[in-house]
Structure 1
Amino acid sequence: MLHLLSYISLHYFILITSILVQSNDSLSDNRAYGYQPGDIIIGGLFPIHQFSSSNQSCGQIRETEISLQLMHAMIYAIQRINNREDLLPGIKLGFHIHDTCSRDTIALRESILMLTPNGRDSVGNFLDQYRNLPRCANDSQPEIDERFQRQQIIGLIGPGSSRESVLVSDLLNIFRIPQISYSSTSDDLSEKERYKYFLRTVPRDYLQVRAMIDLCLHYNWSYVQFVYSEGSYGENGFKNFRSQITTLNLCIAAEYELAQSAPTHRYDTVMSSILSKSNKAKVVILFCNWGEMAKLFEAADRANAAGRIIFIGSDDWTTNTYYMNSSNYVAEGSLYFQLHGEYVRDFDRYFTQLTPYNVDRIQDPWFNESWQANFNCNLPPATENICDKSLRWTNVTGGFTQGRKIIYVINGVYAYAHALHNMHKELCKGKSGLCSAMQSIDGHLLFKYLLRVSFMDIANSSHVEFDNQGDIREGGYDIDNLQRKSDNYRSQKVGVWMLEDLLLSEDDIYWPIGNSSHILESECSQPCQEGLFKITKEEICCWVCAECISKQYFNYTLSQCIDCPAGYWPQQNRTACNRVNITHMEAEEAIAITVIIFAGMGGAFLISLVIIYVKFNLHPIIKASGRELCYCIMFSFGIICTNCVVPLWRPNMPICIWFRISIGFSFSLCYGAIFVKTTRIYRIFNHNNATLKRPSLISPRSQLFMVATIVALRLLIVLVWIIIEPPGVRRVEYKHGEEIRLICNESVVGMVITLGADSCLIIVCTVFAFLTRHLPENFNEAKFINFSMFAVMIVWLAFIPAYFTSDPRLRPLIIPIADYISVTVTILFLFVPKLLRIFGFSNGNVHGMSNNLAIKPAPTATLSSGNLFLGGH
Structure 2
Amino acid sequence: LLLSEVVHGQEMYAPHSIRLEGDITLGGLFPVHAKGPPGVPCGDIKKENGIHRLEAMLYALDQINSDPDLLPNVTLGARILDTCSRDTYALEQSLTFVQALIQKDTSDVRCTNGEPPVFVKPEKVVGVIGASGSSVSIMVANILRLFQIPQISYASTAPELSDDRRYDFFSRVVPPDSFQAQAMVDIVKALGWNYVSTLASEGNYGEKGVESFMQISREAGRQIPPSPRRRGGLDSVTSGGPCQPLRLLLCFLHRQILAAAKRADQVGHFLWVGSDTWGSKVSPLLQQEDVAEGAITILPKRATIEGFDTYFTSRTLENNRRNVWFAEYWEENFNCKLTISGSKKEKKPLCRGGQERIGKDSPYEQEGKVQFVIDAVYAMAHALHHMNKDLCADYPGVCPEMEHAGGKRLLKYIRGVNFNGQGAVGTQCPLNVRRSCCGVRVKEPWSRLPREALESPLERFQEHLDLFLCHLQEWGGGVRQVPPSVCSLPCKPGERKKMVKGMPCCWHCELCDGYQYQADEVTCLLCSYNQRPNENRTGCRAIPIAKLGWGLISVQLLGVLVWFAVDPPNIVVDYDEQKTLNPEQARGVLKCDITDLQIICSLGYSILLMVTCTVYAIKTRGVPENFNEAKPIGFTMYTTCIVWLAFIPIFFGTAQSAEKV
TM-score (norm 1): 0.49
1:63 aligned residue: 47
Alignment of 1:300-699 (within 5 A): 300-317=261-278, 319-320=280-281, 323-325=284-286, 330-359=291-320, 361-362=321-322, 364-380=323-339, 384-387=349-352, 391-395=356-360, 399-458=363-422, 459-466=425-432, 470-479=434-443, 481-484=445-448, 495-499=458-462, 500-504=464-468, 511-512=475-476, 514-517=477-480, 519-525=482-488, 538-542=502-506
Alignment of 1:783-862 (within 5 A): none
SS at match of 1:254: coil
8 Å CA contact 1:378, 1:385 repeated in 2: yes
Q: What's the CA shift string for 1:169-192, capped at 9, x where partnerless? A: 111111111111111111100111
Q: What's the CA shift string for 1:546-599, capped at 9, x where partnerless? A: 9xxxxxxxxxxxx999xxxxxxxxxxxxxxxxxxxxxxxxxxxxxxxxxxxxxx
1:276 and 2:248 correspond: no
Q: CA, structure 1 residues 495+148, in 2 after alignment: closer, same or farther (shift >3 Å)?
A: farther
Tell me the amino acid that sits aligned with residue 106 of structure 1. Y
1:191 and 2:163 correspond: yes
Distance 1:112 1:255 in 2: 39
SS at match of 2:505: coil
Q: CA, structure 1 residues 509+152, in 2 after alignment: closer, same or farther (shift >3 Å)?
A: farther
2:252 counterpart (270, 282, 287): 287
Q: CA, structure 1 residues 53+98, in 2 after alignment: closer, same or farther (shift >3 Å)?
A: same
Q: CA, structure 1 residues 489+287, in 2 after alignment: closer, same or farther (shift >3 Å)?
A: farther
1:228 aligned residue: 200
Q: CA, structure 1 residues 334+541, in 2 after alignment: closer, same or farther (shift >3 Å)?
A: same
Cα distance, 1:162 vs structure 2:
0.9
SS at match of 2:384: helix
Distance 2:491 2:504 in 1: 14
Tell me the amino acid that sits aligned with residue 437 of structure 2. R
8 Å CA contact 1:221, 1:250 repeated in 2: no
Tell me the amino acid that sits aligned with residue 73 of structure 2. G
Cα distance, 1:450 vs structure 2:
0.7
Q: What's the CA shift string for 1:844-869, capped at 9, x where partnerless? A: xxxxxxxxxxxxxxxxxxxxxxxxxx
Tell me the amino acid that sits aligned with residue 329 of structure 2. S
Cα distance, 1:503 vs structure 2:
4.2
1:179 and 2:138 correspond: no
Give the gaps of 5 or more residues in structure 2.
Answer: 1-13, 106-117, 342-347, 511-520, 524-661
Q: What's the CA shift string for 1:402-430, capped at 9, x where partnerless? A: 23322211111111111111111221223
**Looking at both structures, which has the greater relative contact order when contacts are Cα pairs under 8 Å and sequence separation is at least 6?**
2
**How many residue pairs are counted as aligned between the two chains?**
475
Tell me the amino acid that sits aligned with residue 302 of structure 2. G
Distance 2:47 2:158 in 1: 24
8 Å CA contact 1:332, 1:511 repeated in 2: yes
Cα distance, 1:483 vs structure 2:
4.0
Q: CA, structure 1 residues 327+166, in 2 after alignment: closer, same or farther (shift >3 Å)?
A: farther
2:24 aligned residue: 40
Distance 2:40 2:193 in 1: 40
Cα distance, 1:451 vs structure 2:
0.9
The CA RMSD over aligned residues, in Å, is 3.8
1:239 aligned residue: 211
8 Å CA contact 1:178, 1:447 repeated in 2: yes
Distance 2:81 2:340 in 1: 26
1:214 aligned residue: 186
8 Å CA contact 1:342, 1:461 repeated in 2: no
Q: What's the CA shift string for 1:18-68, capped at 9, x where partnerless? A: xxxxxxxxxxxx95212211111111111111112344421111133x432
8 Å CA contact 1:249, 1:541 repeated in 2: no
2:557 aligned residue: none
2:224 aligned residue: 251
Cα distance, 1:515 vs structure 2:
2.1
Q: CA, structure 1 residues 318+95, in 2 after alignment: closer, same or farther (shift >3 Å)?
A: farther
Q: CA, structure 1 residues 116+456, in 2 after alignment: closer, same or farther (shift >3 Å)?
A: same
Q: CA, structure 1 residues 172+276, in 2 after alignment: closer, same or farther (shift >3 Å)?
A: same
Distance 1:533 1:393 in 2: 64
Distance 1:322 1:148 in 2: 46
2:61 aligned residue: 78
Distance 2:119 2:277 in 1: 38
Tell me the amino acid that sits aligned with residue 228 of structure 2. E
Tell me the amino acid that sits aligned with residue 485 of structure 2. S
Q: CA, structure 1 residues 508+501, in 2 after alignment: closer, same or farther (shift >3 Å)?
A: closer
8 Å CA contact 1:494, 1:508 repeated in 2: no
8 Å CA contact 2:248, 2:272 repeated in 1: yes
Distance 1:494 1:516 in 2: 20
Distance 2:146 2:230 in 1: 32
Distance 1:174 1:252 in 2: 40
Q: CA, structure 1 residues 148+377, in 2 after alignment: closer, same or farther (shift >3 Å)?
A: farther
Distance 1:312 1:432 in 2: 53
Distance 1:376 1:453 in 2: 43
8 Å CA contact 1:301, 1:328 repeated in 2: no
8 Å CA contact 2:278, 2:297 repeated in 1: yes
8 Å CA contact 2:421, 2:431 repeated in 1: no
Tell me the amino acid that sits aligned with residue 127 of structure 2. G
Cα distance, 1:349 vs structure 2:
1.6
SS at match of 1:252: coil
2:98 aligned residue: 115
Cα distance, 1:97 vs structure 2:
1.1
Q: CA, structure 1 residues 466+529, in 2 after alignment: closer, same or farther (shift >3 Å)?
A: farther
SS at match of 1:245: helix
Tell me the amino acid that sits aligned with residue 366 of structure 1. W
Q: CA, structure 1 residues 55+161, in 2 after alignment: closer, same or farther (shift >3 Å)?
A: same
Cα distance, 1:101 vs structure 2:
1.8
1:650 aligned residue: none
Distance 1:521 1:281 in 2: 8
Distance 1:384 1:529 in 2: 66
Q: CA, structure 1 residues 212+102, in 2 after alignment: closer, same or farther (shift >3 Å)?
A: same
Tell me the amino acid that sits aligned with residue 300 of structure 1. A
8 Å CA contact 1:223, 1:280 repeated in 2: no
Structure ID, larger Rg: 1
Q: What's the CA shift string for 1:593-641, capped at 9, x where partnerless? A: xxxxxxxxxxxxxxxxxxxxxxxxxxxxxxxxxxxxxxxxxxxxxxxxx
Tell me the amino acid that sits aligned with residue 187 of structure 2. L
Cα distance, 1:328 vs structure 2:
7.8
Q: CA, structure 1 residues 224+100, in 2 after alignment: closer, same or farther (shift >3 Å)?
A: same
Distance 2:328 2:35 in 1: 16
**How many percent identity over aligned positions?**
32
Distance 1:463 1:504 in 2: 20
Distance 1:484 1:55 in 2: 42
Distance 1:37 1:313 in 2: 41
Distance 2:100 2:132 in 1: 25
Distance 2:431 2:356 in 1: 40
